[in-house]
Amino acid sequence: MSDKYNGWTNWATWFVVSEMENHQDWHRQYERLVRTEADASDFERIAKECLFPSSSVTHYGEMSRKEFGDVDWDDIRDTLLGD
C-alpha cells in the first residue's frame, strides 16, 4: 500500500498543489517560478505568503501551520518542472 495521497507525497503536499491550481494569482506566481526553474524554497515562500500572510494566522482552510511543515516542496517543484 502506498503512503501517497492523490499521487502526491502526502495530504499536505496535495492540499498546497490543489490550492495553487484553484487561485489565479497564486497560480501565476508558481508559473513564474517554473519558468525560472526556481528552488523548492521559493515555492515554499510563495505558498507561505499566500496561505499564512501574517504570523498570527494559524490555519488556512483545512491546513494548519504544523501541517504546512509536512509539505514536500521538492515533490512540488520536480513535478511542476517536469510538466
- Of 11, 45, 46, 30, nearest to 79 by C-alpha is 30
Residues 10-45 have pLDDT tens digits of: 999 999 999 988 988 888 998 999 999 999 999 999
pLDDT band at 3; cut points 50, 70, 90: confident
Name the β-bridge partners of 59. Answer: 64
- In the chain, pLDDT over 90 holds for what percent of residues? 65
User: How far does Cα 78 stand from its chain's mean position?
Assistant: 12
pTM of the model: 0.86
